[in-house]
Amino acid sequence: MKIELNNRIAVITGGSGELGRAIVRTLAECGASIAIHYFHQADKARKVLEEIRPFGARYMMVQADVTDAASVQAMKEKVTTGLGDADIIVNNAVIQYTWAPVLEQNASDYEGQFRSCVLHNVYMAQAFVPGMIRKHWGRVIAINTECVMQNYPNQSAYVSGKRGMDGVLRVLAREIGEHQITVNQVAPGWMVSENVPDGAGGSKGYKEKVPLKRRGSDQDIANLVAFLASDLAGFISGAFIPASGGTVMPAI
């Protein structure tokens, strides 16, 4: 069985980032046309674009600030003009910041995580879901994190933003399900990627806590995203799916 995304149009925010690159490549390899979103790093987005050209579908780069409604709407107009109405959105971008204890974390970091996790997902839905409704088919896939189930020290701003987006997306799944649009979340562990090697600081201690006793890769996340984007996952919606080797296990 092969995942086929031919004739599907996908928008990946943070498409030039650590996980984003693998997601872009994998969806392109499955046959999707791709809009690679970037904020500041056009050079990295251009590199990813060149890497997927051999797959033969239609591709474009698009710049936007995902924390700004007007910017996301402008991105949507560019995607629609360049490729058509999106079938799949993968909300992957997030603001990076320095983690600190609650008593020391700057309030602006909490606001930044709210904007890049909660409002990012709201603005993407408001821009792209109406086109999915017209098609009576769509996939909203958001990248969450295992951290929301761990609540370790220094994670508070990140966890608060990701927990907030979880609430938005679960409600969205109920609101738009009748249009045959699924809404799901992928929650990575600490994954190995191009710039985050397996030997990174703390890697040994982390792996000891993973039931599989290893770190996963960015490709593991991309594979799950591709599955959720496909017709194979047509009856899965409202799910929070960890891809963490068993580090976190949602209970019933």
The catalytic residue positions are: 158
Q: Cα separation of 115 and 99, whole Å?
A: 17
b/e sequence 74-106, b meaning 16+ C-beta within 10 Å: bbbeebbeebebbbbbbbbbbbebeeeeeeebe
| Residue 86, SS3 per DSSP | coil
